[in-house]
Amino acid sequence: MAFRQSKDFVASLEKGLDVLTCFNRQNAKLTLSEVARLTGSSPASARRSLLTLHALDFLESDGRRFWLGPRVLLVAHAYLASRPTPQLAQPLLDALSERTRQSASLGKLQDDDVIIIARSTARRSLSTGLGIGSRLPAYCSSLGRVALANLPQTEAARRIGDMRRGPLTPKTIYELAAVLEKVDRCRRDGWTGADGELELGVRSIAVPVCGQDGKFIAGLSISVGAERMSMTEFTRTLLPVLMQARDTLQRSLFGACS
């Protein structure tokens, strides 16, 4: 973006945030060289960011490796507490999950991924280790595809073309033409699904949640284990329930913003 070239753009802050967000389930504890590789920065730059974040208690360290400290939760809590969408969505997701005995999630597009901002898992439902803040690749997740389908068509095509795409399972749809077709179909139908593409044995469907102005806010999804029902039965049985929950959430959001 043009603003990145502006004197008002703080590159050191960007580098620090890149360091914070390179930690995840697969990279829970990282050395300086690993952080430099993951962020694409020089070792010297990564070192300055790591030491600064450690001094501010956002990171903890044993002298060799670094990991996130609990202070990071202050940032996440500030988002969850200040934004109406996750606050209003959580009780609705809890009710949807309890009613269907399946996992329900709300997600927003961020770069090449969709980030889960609210989630509920019923006692008998499938649990895949996902939670608030988890990231899913947009090209092969139902939440991601429904978010991409609500971008302008040319922008969606550009972003999908620029994504690093690959087969996560033998069922993953990842080739450009096939992903574009799935996103275009979602744009026409108003919903989309993914069958074993992120993880074998996990099926999901998603619908868009829009504001009063018709603009996309987030994707709402529900997941089920493949052994519990076929994709056809899953869609026929639970898509109407998911759409009803979406409509309820949209009415709640309209009231919160009025």
Q: Give me the CATH topology for the region 2-71.
A: Arc Repressor Mutant, subunit A (1.10.10)
Burial of residue 252, with CB atoms counted within 10 A of its CB: 0-12 exposed, 13-18 middle, 19 or more buried = middle
The CATH code for residues 83-257 is 3.30.450.40
CA atoms within 13 Å, Cβ hemisphere of 51? 6
Which bin fits 196, alpha (ψ -120 to 50), beta or left (φ > 0)? left
Domain boundary assignment for the chain: 2-71, 83-257
Backbone angles phi, psi at 79, to 5 degrees: -65, -50
Question: What percent of the chain is helix, strand and coil (3-state, nearest 5)?
Answer: 50, 20, 30
H or E stretch at 76: helix 72-82
Burial of residue 235, with CB atoms counted within 10 A of its CB: 0-12 exposed, 13-18 middle, 19 or more buried = middle
The one-digit pLDDT tens for each residue of the chain (258 residues) are: 566 777 888 989 999 999 998 998 788 999 999 999 999 999 999 999 999 999 999 999 999 999 999 999 898 888 877 887 888 899 999 999 999 999 999 999 998 999 999 999 865 544 456 788 889 999 999 999 999 999 999 999 999 999 999 999 999 999 999 999 999 999 999 999 999 999 999 999 999 999 888 899 999 999 999 998 999 999 999 999 999 999 999 998 876 543
pTM score, two decimals? 0.81
